[in-house]
Structure 1
Amino acid sequence: MNWQGCKNILCIRPDNMGDLIMSGPAIRALKKSFGARITLLTSIMAKGITLMMPEIDEVMVYDVPWVKTAEIEDTKAFYDVIADIKNKNFDAAVVFTVYSQNPQPTAMLAYLAGVPQILAYCRENPYQLINNWVPDKEPYELIKHQVKRDLDLVAAVGAYIDDDNLSLDVDNDLWPAISNRISKLGVDLAKPWLLIHPGVSESKREYPFELWVEAGKRLVNDGYQLIVTGAASEKQFAEHLADGIGTGCYSAAGLFPLNEFVCLVKHSPLLVSVNTGTIHIAAAVGTPVVVLYAQTNPQHTPWKVPHVVLPFAVPVQMRSRNEVIGYVDRKLYDRPVPMPNAGDISNAVTHLLNPQDLPVQPSPGIPDENPGIAAS
């Protein structure tokens, strides 16, 4: 697997924004190790964040039909993207996946386009489809953090990097206008404040509304002003939550485009969020984060940033039908976990902002920056 001559590389990460952010260090390793031009093929959901990832030179957008996306493409688009890949004459392609995904449909795009070197994890022998094959031992022998998984994949072809932190380019010149907008909501930035982010892409990751209200009231009572963030589509929910929490809580959902939102997260003292892409933005800009962590993907905790994970169980009827995920559910999540309460969240915030006041034990069964955990 000698890739030193690969100067035009296609990286394929057809998932959501948080997944792409976690692949950032591996993509950076490819670029720096081989002096390569990097083209990324990703989903429309992840496209926006690519503008803040300088390791990416060009972006292709295609929502593949085997990954959950907002749009369903027709078969013509499938052949069009293959033709586009072929026209770009790539030396190699790298397929990034989570352990529960089959890489072969994605690899087929590069294979049909005639890309000579294709790298991916695969559980079974893909033969010529993936001619740079790394046998996938997850999750049956171990579970790695997603960042480590991706870095180990590119290391198989000689791509390494010294700095494996997540990274996003933030335009700090946006902060004065952002802070002015926040102040107009009623927030006094000279006093303690933090962000809470309740929105999720999957209902099984939701933290109950009434518990958000209890936690918000507790944090306000602790002396913090709260800013509820979210997309424009979550504006009504955020306003409802802010009203439920009452004085000291302000809704900012829909007020900030992605580049401004990333800047807001960077300048925030702390973020309280469900496990969604926002926690990976926080990790990439160095903001401490408390994660209300639905037990879905254990390998997607915040990477190398101060954090506390507060796990909670996903109801049986909402769990994935994917058998690989089912295996992890049975092996790793076999014991009921109570829903985190207002006190748990308050203690976690205190621990991160005032660590001398209250030590918090790390949550069991959740990978961090360590290489992996046993899954059986």
Structure 2
Amino acid sequence: MAAPSLLGPVGERVPDVERIAVLRANALGDFIFILPALEALRAAYPGAEIVLLGAPWHAAFWRDRPGPVDRVLVVPPAPGIRVPGPDEPESSLDDFLAAARAERFDLALQLHGGGANSNPIVARLGARVTAGLRAEDAPPLDRWLRYVYYQHEVIRYLEAVALVGAAATTITPRLDPTDADRAEARAVLGPAERPRVALHPGATDSRRRWPAERFGAVARALADDGYEVLVTGTPVEQEVVDEVVAAAGVPVRPQVGTLSLGALAACYADCALVVSNDSGPLHLAGAVGAPTVGVYWIGNMINGATPLRARHRPIASWTTHCPVCGVDCTPGIYPHRPGDGDCPHRDSFVTDVPVVEVVEAARELLAG
């Protein structure tokens, strides 16, 4: 092992590395968590090409964008890796892996969970050295670290890349909008006549969604304080955005599908504050430097909320029993704790977070 770093031991660097594969083919927030790990790889192997094995959205986002990703290879849909997108043509994992082996990767990193499904893919890339995480049901890699459920995601993946000598250079995900991102955001939003704040009321998992009427109350409070309020969402979140706008009872600006991902990043970068459920846009906002107030289900807060408080206020819900049937869903967020297990309901588990706590946190951050 090399000398310890800020986060602990660092493995020996692999000599003569020209090309590095990194498997991480999931959603926006998941990707934001590995940005510090990618920066560590860039610092440790400055002359190497970093190739992300990702999803179609990664390829679109990183095209002609400076940062720690040089190129994206889109991984075909596969169990435990990613599901196919709408109208996505069929593609063969075997064909993908054959083409990937022709890249002659020197390093292949598995940064895609515990490894039951992802370690076999990384092992088939033909890299000189493989490294990453390993849960109990996953095959080993050349260098591996035990996957432990209770760990902040940023630290988890920094420890993983440390296996190949990449010491942490930061624990804070950072993403800089491009000039093109900012130009698109300006074209859509126009100049701000007042300081802007953004609310993002959607989340992929409905159990993480704070009620729309409470977002509406926050929107009303911040509008009354003199802020221009944007309500952002994807096209599938149109309904919840409409509910927030109606509940606000004051003029707010819905932005549903009007901004590309890069333009959304630029929008958030220019906001005085972003208030959101635990979601990809919340983590994007933090990465572009916006102060944030995030509403978290407690299990997700352990793994996903930033530990920094100068510009961020994560607020936890402690609900662990289904609000519909009363089943103890603790194993859903604490897999090693007793309980009845999962239930079929997907009602919100974060309704116990009061409006006043979110508004107070927002005003505290806005006051500087």
TM-score normalised over the length of structure 1: 0.79
Please tell me the residue identity of whatever aligns with 1:228.
V
Task: Kindly provide the CA deviation profile for residues 103-128 of structure 1, in whole angstroms up to 9, marking residues without a partner as x.
Answer: 1321211222322311012133966x
Contact 1:293 1:309 (8 Å CA) reproduced: yes
In structure 2, relative to structure 1, the CA distance for the partners of 1:65 and 1:195 (3 Å cut) is same
For 2:91 and 2:255, locate their aligned partners in 1 and report how far apart those are by CA, in whole Å: 40
- CA drift of 1:2 comes to 4.1
Kindly report which structure 2 residues correspond to 1:127-142, keeping only aligned pairs within 5 A, or say none: 129-136=140-147, 138-139=148-149
Task: Kindly provide the CA deviation profile for residues 158-216 of structure 1, in whole angstroms up to 9, marking residues without a partner as x.
Answer: 11243443222312455455345334xxxx82323300001111111111122222232
Please tell me the residue identity of whatever aligns with 1:118.
T
Equivalent position of 2:152 in the other structure: 145
In structure 2, relative to structure 1, the CA distance for the partners of 1:59 and 1:46 (3 Å cut) is closer
Pairwise CA RMSD of aligned residues?
A: 3.1
Task: Kindly provide the CA deviation profile for residues 280-329 of structure 1, in whole angstroms up to 9, marking residues without a partner as x.
Answer: 21121110000011234221113657111111246645999896843366
Equivalent position of 2:18 in the other structure: 7
Equivalent position of 1:196 in the other structure: 199
Equivalent position of 1:231 in the other structure: 234
For 1:320 and 1:54, locate their aligned partners in 2 and report how far apart those are by CA, in whole Å: 43
For 1:109 and 1:320, locate their aligned partners in 2 and report how far apart those are by CA, in whole Å: 36
Q: 2:354 aligns with which of 341, 345, 348?
A: 341
Equivalent position of 1:44 in the other structure: 56
Question: Secondary structure of 1:229's match?
Answer: strand
Question: Secondary structure of 2:38's match?
Answer: helix
Task: Kindly provide the CA deviation profile for residues 209-243 of structure 1, in whole angstroms up to 9, marking residues without a partner as x.
Answer: 22222232233233332110112332343234213
For 1:68 and 1:317, locate their aligned partners in 2 and report how far apart those are by CA, in whole Å: 28
Please tell me the residue identity of whatever aligns with 1:168.
L
In structure 2, relative to structure 1, the CA distance for the partners of 1:15 and 1:181 (3 Å cut) is closer
Contact 1:15 1:45 (8 Å CA) reproduced: no
In the alignment, does 2:68 pair up with 1:55?
yes
For 1:54 and 1:132, locate their aligned partners in 2 and report how far apart those are by CA, in whole Å: 26
Kindly report which structure 2 residues correspond to 1:1-376, keeping only aligned pairs within 5 A, or say none: 1-34=12-45, 35-51=47-63, 52=65, 54-62=67-75, 63-67=77-81, 69-71=83-85, 77-97=92-112, 101-124=113-136, 129-136=140-147, 138-139=148-149, 143-172=150-179, 174-175=181-182, 178-179=185-186, 181-183=188-190, 189-297=192-300, 298-302=302-306, 304=308, 306-313=311-318, 316-317=321-322, 325-327=333-335, 339-355=352-368
Task: Kindly provide the CA deviation profile for residues 75-122 of structure 1, in whole angstroms up to 9, marking residues without a partner as x.
Answer: 96221221122111111210013xxx4313212112223223110121
Please tell me the residue identity of whatever aligns with 1:56.
V
Contact 1:165 1:303 (8 Å CA) reproduced: no
Please tell me the residue identity of whatever aligns with 1:250.
R
Please tell me the residue identity of whatever aligns with 1:200.
A
Question: Secondary structure of 1:271's match?
Answer: strand
- CA drift of 1:68 comes to 5.3
For 1:196 and 1:315, locate their aligned partners in 2 and report how far apart those are by CA, in whole Å: 25
Contact 1:17 1:49 (8 Å CA) reproduced: no
Equivalent position of 2:345 in the other structure: none
- CA drift of 1:131 comes to 1.4
* Mean Cα deviation higher: 114-123 or 63-72: 63-72
* Mean Cα deviation higher: 228-237 or 253-262: 228-237
Equivalent position of 1:360 in the other structure: none
For 1:337 and 1:175, locate their aligned partners in 2 and report how far apart those are by CA, in whole Å: 33
Q: Which runs of 5+ in 2 are unaligned?
A: 1-11, 340-348
Q: Which runs of 5+ in 1 are unaligned?
A: 356-376
For 2:363 and 2:169, locate their aligned partners in 1 and report how far apart those are by CA, in whole Å: 32
* Mean Cα deviation higher: 321-330 or 109-118: 321-330
In structure 2, relative to structure 1, the CA distance for the partners of 1:257 and 1:177 (3 Å cut) is closer
Question: Secondary structure of 1:259's match?
Answer: helix
For 1:56 and 1:193, locate their aligned partners in 2 and report how far apart those are by CA, in whole Å: 31
For 2:175 and 2:198, locate their aligned partners in 1 and report how far apart those are by CA, in whole Å: 19
| Equivalent pairs, count | 339
What is the aligned-residue identity percentage?
Answer: 22
- CA drift of 1:41 comes to 0.5
Question: Secondary structure of 1:327's match?
Answer: coil
Equivalent position of 1:368 in the other structure: none
- CA drift of 1:256 comes to 0.9
